[in-house]
Chain A
Amino acid sequence: MLNNHAKLMQFFSEANEVVGRKKLQKMIYILQKCKVPFEEKYQFHFYGPYSEELTLRVEELCNLGFVDEVKENKSNYYQYHYSVTDAGESFLKQFSLDMPDFTEKLALLKGKSSRFLELVSTMLYFDNLPKDEVEEKIHLTKPKQKYTVEEISEAWAFIDRLVIDN
């Protein structure tokens, strides 16, 4: 029961705090690609892989009082902060989840911007294509983001560091 919710709670618990909805979306997707068994279904959207199921499940966790969501008013947009509550920690304790250790990967992801994670997750979305075609896809599907050559090579290096078995 609610195993998928519990897996996300483990993510929030280990992450301590996640800043930004877009970043949260991309972090879970990238972890999925690292074989961490989150089961939320993703589709490609304007800003890269996005899971409506994840959005709704996080809303459920907030409504249940397991995750605290704080809305911060930036100058021309809002940013959301997520952290686990005491009730959330108690809920999580009742599960014995068989999850691989993803602490290190999580730390790497947390240190990156949402723009960069959008690039990485988009590259991973096309991981069935050869490298040059992946880069071509990035430029074709995301012309407005204007990703530089340096950013793209940094993203490849980052993917290698994550040791993703493609």
Chain B
Amino acid sequence: MYDIVIIGAGITGTMLARELSRYDLKLALIDKENDIADGATMANSAIVHTGYDPEPGTMKARMNPEGCRLYEQLCKELGCKYTVVGALVAACGADEERHLDILAARADDRGIPYKMLDGKAAHEAEPNLSDEVTKALDFYTTAVIYPWEVAIACAEVAVTNGAELYLNSPCTAIERTDGGYIVRTPERALETRLVVNAAGVYAENIARMVADNVRFRITPRRGEYYVLDNAVQPVKHIVFPVPSKEKGKGVLAVPTVYGNTLIGPSSDVVEDLADNGTSTEGLDYVTKNIRRLVKNVPLNRSIRTFAGLRPSADVHDFVIEEQPGAEGFVNACCIESPGLASAPAIARYIINELISKRLTLKEKQGAVLTRERPAVMEELSPEERSELIKKEPSYGRIICRCEQISEGEIVACIRRTCGARTVKGVKKRVRPGMGRCQGGFCEPRVVEILARELNCAPTEIVLDSAKSNILESENR
């Protein structure tokens, strides 16, 4: 009998699992995908928004500023990248400038630091701002992260503290019992007292397994992005347009933690919950809109395009509450932007306001909430690298020539708790294939290392999902 089963190993589910793993509870974290953080957490703008944007009175306004305040320390504790780049909300003309004042007033209310820059100062701070930009709000504490890195680190902490992680485990049915629920997956029946529904775009479907009166409708919005070669870095800050009700935060330019610039997202409602392919329309929309804000965007240096689905809903706000009529079934749903930034606050809110009312929480002896950062060659001095190579020579064999990732780093990310099992899993954890050749050279070597470490045939190695085989057959 579990105390809590969390459905969904994205940023919301994993962060909650980590926080809960400090208590003496029997926990399970399940996900339908083949790796942690394979949904919205994998494909978003990677920004820790400071929280000036949400409308007053919303759950978003309550969670975002607090989540943001917790992030830097959290990333330190988890050994994750947290890079302050600053964010400029750029206004073009008088109408948009007035909107900056509204945002500034909200920031004042929420204790979020900013500077108002006139046109000249804005262009000095960010030389590639378009000539149309007349004024900008500089939220200079805004940071970017690798969202999946944080989710994976949280899952690792939770599992180290005793939580059970089940991947490739879609929830197929939930039955009520006297003391709780049975969560069914194709291979298991998990009997539990509480359920937390953090299933992203699938959250409505999951909620409907226990109730008919679900108060939100998920209408996923697809966001498409370009990723630029890190040899070209057109912006130093995140550059936002002035937000609008219809278009949300709009099309941005985001300098990521490893120097690649993200350009996007588009925002199109899609019917299919799995429709995360890119489209000509979406990418054209991105191209057209970024030019209004930023000039000299070298889209010809794109190395990848991708799309992600945001779990947007008709309620336009996070739904974090016990499902009415389903005691002990907690929804953590509709977590669209700023869900990444809000996640640490959402985890605390769920524990303090919802779970603690149903369970007695007792601190567990020996639980460790921190994680040491794995060795990253790029971050070490030459002397430290040599030292590491002396101990473990595989750190001296570079597998990914674009990003200079060593065999040692790849092997370590496979052997860790919640280690990589797929080529994409390796890419998410230590980044071979993130560079300009996109794995053209290193993918075969990553496949070889995975097969060796997992003691299986290379033909069994998959790109991402359980059926995404890379090699058809052995030749001769």
Indicate, yes or no, whether A interacts with B.
no
- Give me the interface of B with A, judged by CB distance under 8 Å: none
